[in-house]
Amino acid sequence: MKKEEISELMYRLYIACDQAPYDTDVKELIQSAPIKMQKEFISRMIQEKLWDIHPDEEDLEAARKLTGYDG
């Protein structure tokens, strides 16, 4: 995955965790984070199932592939 794809995935998962409205400041912050940090955060979100609302299955599958998590 490209950095911008990872950033978009992380942002969509973040919204599912926090039921956050679209926020350009948060999106820009996520996009500026190093890829390693984004992957670690995505991994934590999917392992701990921090969802307020369930994310799209496609996003979960992409996150699992990206992080190697199969739980």
- pLDDT above 70 for 21: no
19 or 38, higher pLDDT: 38
Average pLDDT of the segment spanning 40-54: 89
Q: So where are the chain's domains?
A: 3-67
The per-residue pLDDT for 42 is: 92
Q: Which residues contact 60 (CB under 8 A, 6 or more apart)?
A: 46
**Cβ pair 63, 69 in contact under 8 A:** yes
Mean predicted lDDT score pLDDT of the chain = 88
23 or 9, higher pLDDT: 9
Structure tokens at 48: 């701990």
Global model pTM greater than 0.75: yes
The amino acid occupying position 16 is A
* Confidence tier at 36 by pLDDT (50, 70, 90): very high
